[in-house]
């Protein structure tokens, strides 16, 4: 739970910093690219959960 809150705070901090300093976001500008990032994140989290659950 702490990891989730830390990741959320870090993501929001990066987004706020980019907005404050008028920097381009470190994310793809298209919907397909953003969905690719979401899919990769879900795959990473899912595999992490699967491996931790199996005792590996």
Average confidence (pLDDT) over 32-52: 84
Task: Name the residue ranges covered by the structural domains of the chain.
Answer: 2-53
Across the chain, mean pLDDT equals: 80
Average confidence (pLDDT) over 41-52: 85
Average confidence (pLDDT) over 26-42: 80
Least Cα distance to 45 among 12, 9, 15, 7 occurs for 7
Which residue spans within 1-56 are E strands per DSSP? none
**What is the pLDDT, as a whole number, of residue 54?**
63
Average confidence (pLDDT) over 3-15: 82
Q: Which residues contact 54 (CB under 8 A, 6 or more apart)?
A: none
The pTM for the full model equals 0.48
Average confidence (pLDDT) over 25-51: 81
């Amino acid at each position: 739970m702490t990891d989730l809150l830390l990741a959320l705070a870090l993501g929001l901090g990066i987004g706020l910093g980019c907005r404050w300093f008028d920097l381009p976001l470190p994310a793809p500008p298209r919907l397909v690219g953003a969905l690719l990032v979401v899919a990769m994140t879900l795959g990473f989290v899912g595999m992490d959960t699967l491996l931790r659950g199996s005792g590996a």
